[in-house]
Amino acid sequence: QNVFNMVVEVPRWTNAKMEIATKDPLNPIKQDVKKGKLRYVANVFPHKGYIWNYGAIPQTWEDPGHKDENTGCCGDNDPIDVCEIGSKVCSRGEVIKVKVLGTLALIDEGETDWKIIAINVEDPEADNYNDINDVRRMKPGYLEATVDWFKRYKVPDGKPENQFAFNGEFKDKDFAVNVIKSTHEHWKALIAKKTDGGEINCTNLTVSGSPFCCSQECAKATVDAAPPCKAANPVPPEVDKWFYYQKN
């Protein structure tokens, strides 16, 4: 049915760059830190924060040692990313079932970084979406806005515009599912220790044949050893700033 689980890292319209921390035990969701500061994505007009619910498909890995045959670039060392386009603003950490519709091949600083376009299966309009052209028909301008967002979101940090494979064209559902299956195979090699994952922490509770599999007690001890959650820091006022610049 082309339905996959998605872990929501960033709810739509928010700016905090939250992501699965692959190097930490049990891979919690944490805010990215750069040069000692918590990281937020800039608002590049007309976009406010992330313009979809953003997250990842678990049990996938974009292998940095594997050159993608479609893009000619190696993977970015993370699970595969998902842009969920439904009407509900999801919660961080929520796990939802999504129907895959297509994919965009971002080349981020020389690495392949696939962006899967999907919709929550519980969305009231989910039945109307079966492939990427349905997004173009039902939500005109959304795919173009998605390309624009990924092209320009790092420019306020002083970086150049991002590039894309296939001239920024979206690939269809079948292509996207094959990409997910490929990254799942890379994950299986990683979790079975057939591929060196470097600093990635592969400790898990559920993959019984994995040398990284641990007991419930071990996992609980890891969680209990984590520092207690405190009240979140207020979002700095500069996060609400808008950036305007001429499109190239």
Grouped pLDDT means (10 residues each) for the chain, 248 residues: 94 97 96 93 96 98 95 96 98 98 95 97 97 97 97 93 95 98 97 96 94 96 91 91 83
pLDDT attached to residue 106: 97
Pick the CATH number of 3-232 from 3.20.10.10, 3.90.80.10, 3.30.70.3340, 1.10.10.10: 3.90.80.10
- Cα 138 from chain centroid (whole Å): 23
Is residue 69 within 8 A of residue 75, CB to CB? The reply is no
Residue 248: per-residue pLDDT: 60
* pLDDT attached to residue 109: 87
pLDDT recorded at residue 245: 83
pLDDT value at position 178? 97
How far, in whole angstroms, is CA 203 from its chain's centroid?
Answer: 21
Consecutive H or E run containing 111:
strand 111-120
- Which two three-digit tokens encode residue 242? 């808008």
Beta bridge partners of 4: 98
Angle at 93 between CA 92 and CA 99, to 5 degrees: 95
What pLDDT, on the 0 to 100 scale, is given for residue 233?
Answer: 84
